[in-house]
Each structure stands twice: as structure tokens, then as C-alpha cells.
């Protein structure tokens, strides 16, 4: 005799992450846990959608009355924009979305939450970007989203570095478009006259022992953030910890993003 499971039924509301490939994603277990923690009978499942099938699959899925939202990962963050009636300002500037949800008026809204997760992680720690001098390393997908989200938080200045000069300059212009009053410029990595150091480059990921910045010692007043999730303590965070800095970890950004996206999906705590 089998025993029925208690986490899926005909009443369960569905969400999905769409990618190609899909097996590597962590959203199903993390978002489903976030939904359960809020008392919702909802699941987020993985949908492997092939590139040739994307354009008939997304509208078919969003036509299901019991499916309320989609997350997009590689390679669909740009392409998915076509299906939204409303696109949030962050996503418009980044040029990509990672969440699509019902807007309550029969249409679909979309936004990108990668950068908002970083802002949320700082907020939960009682840390503000307002008036702060920021050094951002990395202007790729994560760095762009973080830079643009922070530009909404009234920082004093943002210096940003990327190995790819054009990419760095593109992000400089995007940040200026958010708030022309921010002093923003491309720069070499530095912690001189910096309050918050943000790493959004892949340097230090997994077995990579390198630091994204050459520095002898950090000032303990510095706040150091690393977007990398694995390892939990990157070489950069280890060095910052030894100097007595305040650390904000990639996992905190991830949890902040999940929380903001769960809000966006309309799942509010009971």
C-alpha cells in the first residue's frame, strides 16, 4: 500500500523555471521552500524548454489558470521580455527579465530581481547604500543588475571595473540613466575612499583561489559583498573577515532575491 504525499494535489498552484539545460537549477527546491514557509499550497517545477519550442510554450503555459508565474534562466532572460505587457524599470535598463507573473488585470508583468536581491540582503542587515562610495567589480549579467539596482538607492558614487572595457562603459551609461546625480566612472579595482566593495565577477568561484582585487589589507570599516554562492566564503570574504570587515554573502543575496520574487508572485505570508 502506498501512502499519499501531502505536497501536491489538484489544488496546488504551479510556478516553473524555464531554461536550457535545466538540471543544474536550484530554484525548484528553494522557491518551493519559500512558498511553504509562507503557508502556500504551491510548487515551483523545472521545465526544460528547447529553443525552437520557446515561443509556443511560454504562451501555452501562461494560459493555464493554475500556473501563476515563470522564472527564466539561461538562455531565455532576454527573449522572455516579449511576453510581458509591463516591464519593470530595472529590467528595462538591464534589457532582461527573470520573472513573469500575472499583473492582476489579465496581463503579464515582468522584472529582473538579481540586483534587487543584493539590495534586499543589505537591507536585512540594516546596511544602506545611501550616500556611500561604492566599488563594483564585474559588469556582466550579475554586475549589471546589481549596479542598476544600487543606482536606485542614492549612493554617493560608483566606481566600476570589468576586464572588458566596453562592457564597463556600457554599465556606466546605464547607471547614469538611472540617476544622473551619482558620480559613476570606470576605474581599476580599489578600496581607497570606498565604503562598500562589491564583487560580481566570477573570480574566487569554486576552486578559484584568486582575489578580484590586489590589496594588502582592508579597513575594518569596509563592507565587503561577494555575489558568489559557492564557496560560501570566497578568498575575498576570507581576507575581509580577517581584517574585521562586515561581510555580506552571495547566499544572502540569493535568499533576498527569492523573497522579493515570492512577493512578486503574489504569495504573501498567511
How many Cβ atoms sit within 10 Å of the Cβ of residue 173?
A: 9
Q: Which residues pair with 157 in a beta bridge?
A: 133, 183
To its own copies, the closest distance from the beta carbon of 16 in angstroms equals 9
Residue 36 interacts with its own copies (CB under 8 A)?
A: yes
Grid cell at residue 223:
563592507
Grid cell at residue 242:
580577517
Which three-class secondary structure state does DSSP give residue 232? coil
Residue 10 interacts with its own copies (CB under 8 A)?
A: yes
* Nearer Cβ to its own copies (27/201): 27
In the shown chain, the binding pattern of residues 203 to 242 toward its own copies, with x for contact by CB under 8 A and - for none, equals ----------------------------------------
Residue 165 interacts with its own copies (CB under 8 A)?
A: no
Stretch that binds its own copies, among 33-41, 123-131, 142-150, 235-243 (CB under 8 A): 33-41
Selected binder of its own copies within 23, 105, 214, 270 (CB under 8 A): 23
To its own copies, the closest distance from the beta carbon of 255 in angstroms equals 8
Judged on CB neighbours under 10 Å (0-12, 13-18, 19+), 67 is middle
Residue 57 interacts with its own copies (CB under 8 A)?
A: yes
Residue 270 interacts with its own copies (CB under 8 A)?
A: no
- What are residue 141's phi and psi, to 5 degrees? -60, -55
To its own copies, the closest distance from the beta carbon of 44 in angstroms equals 7
Give, to the nearest 10 degrees, the angle between helix 27-37 and helix 250-264: 60
Residue 60 interacts with its own copies (CB under 8 A)?
A: yes
To its own copies, the closest distance from the beta carbon of 147 in angstroms equals 28
Residue 265 interacts with its own copies (CB under 8 A)?
A: no
To its own copies, the closest distance from the beta carbon of 230 in angstroms equals 15
Cβ atoms of 183 and 157 within 8 Å: the answer is yes
Cβ atoms of 56 and 25 within 8 Å: the answer is no
Stretch that binds its own copies, among 4-12, 100-108, 156-164, 175-183 (CB under 8 A): 4-12
Selected binder of its own copies within 88, 163, 167, 255 (CB under 8 A): 255
| C-alpha–C-alpha distance, residues 167 and 118, integer Å | 21
Helix (H) or strand (E) holding 17: strand 13-19
Stretch that binds its own copies, among 6-14, 124-132, 142-150, 174-182 (CB under 8 A): 6-14
Question: Which distant-in-sequence residues (6+ apart) come within 8 Å of 182 by Cβ?
Answer: 151, 155, 156, 157, 158, 175, 176
Judged on CB neighbours under 10 Å (0-12, 13-18, 19+), 99 is buried
Stretch that binds its own copies, among 49-57, 131-139, 227-235, 237-245 (CB under 8 A): 49-57
Positions in the binding site for its own copies (CB under 8 A): 1-12, 14, 17, 22-30, 32-34, 36-37, 43-50, 53, 56-57, 59-61, 63-67, 255, 258
Amino acid at each position: 500500500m502506498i501512502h499519499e504525499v501531502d505536497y501536491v494535489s489538484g489544488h496546488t498552484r504551479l510556478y516553473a523555471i524555464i531554461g536550457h539545460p535545466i538540471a543544474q537549477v536550484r530554484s525548484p527546491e528553494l522557491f518551493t521552500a519559500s512558498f511553504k514557509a509562507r503557508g502556500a499550497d504551491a510548487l515551483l517545477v523545472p521545465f526544460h524548454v528547447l529553443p525552437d519550442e520557446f515561443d509556443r510554450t511560454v504562451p501555452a503555459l501562461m494560459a493555464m489558470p493554475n500556473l501563476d508565474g515563470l522564472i527564466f534562466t539561461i538562455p531565455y532572460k532576454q527573449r522572455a521580455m516579449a511576453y510581458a505587457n509591463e516591464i519593470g524599470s530595472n529590467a528595462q535598463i538591464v534589457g532582461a527579465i527573470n520573472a513573469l507573473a500575472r499583473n492582476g488585470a489579465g496581463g503579464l508583468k515582468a522584472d529582473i530581481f538579481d540586483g534587487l536581491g543584493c539590495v534586499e540582503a543589505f537591507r536585512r542587515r540594516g546596511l544602506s547604500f545611501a550616500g556611500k562610495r561604492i566599488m563594483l567589480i564585474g559588469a556582466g549579467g550579475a554586475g549589471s543588475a546589481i549596479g542598476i539596482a544600487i543606482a536606485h538607492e542614492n549612493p554617493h558614487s560608483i566606481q566600476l571595473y570589468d576586464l572588458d572595457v566596453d562592457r564597463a562603459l556600457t554599465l556606466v551609461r546605464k547607471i547614469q540613466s538611472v540617476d544622473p546625480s551619482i558620480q559613476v566612472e570606470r576605474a581599476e579595482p580599489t578600496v581607497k575612499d570606498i565604503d562598500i566593495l562589491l564583487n560580481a565577477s566570477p573570480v574566487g568561484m569554486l576552486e578559484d583561489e584568486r582575489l578580484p582585487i590586489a590589496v594588502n589589507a582592508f579597513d575594518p570599516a569596509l563592507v565587503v559583498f561577494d555575489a558568489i554562492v559557492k564557496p560560501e566564503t570566497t578568498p575575498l570574504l576570507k581576507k575581509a573577515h580577517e581584517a574585521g570587515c562586515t561581510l555580506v554573502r552571495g547566499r544572502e543575496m540569493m535568499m533576498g532575491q527569492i523573497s522579493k520574487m515570492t512577493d512578486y508572485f503574489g504569495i504573501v505570508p498567511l
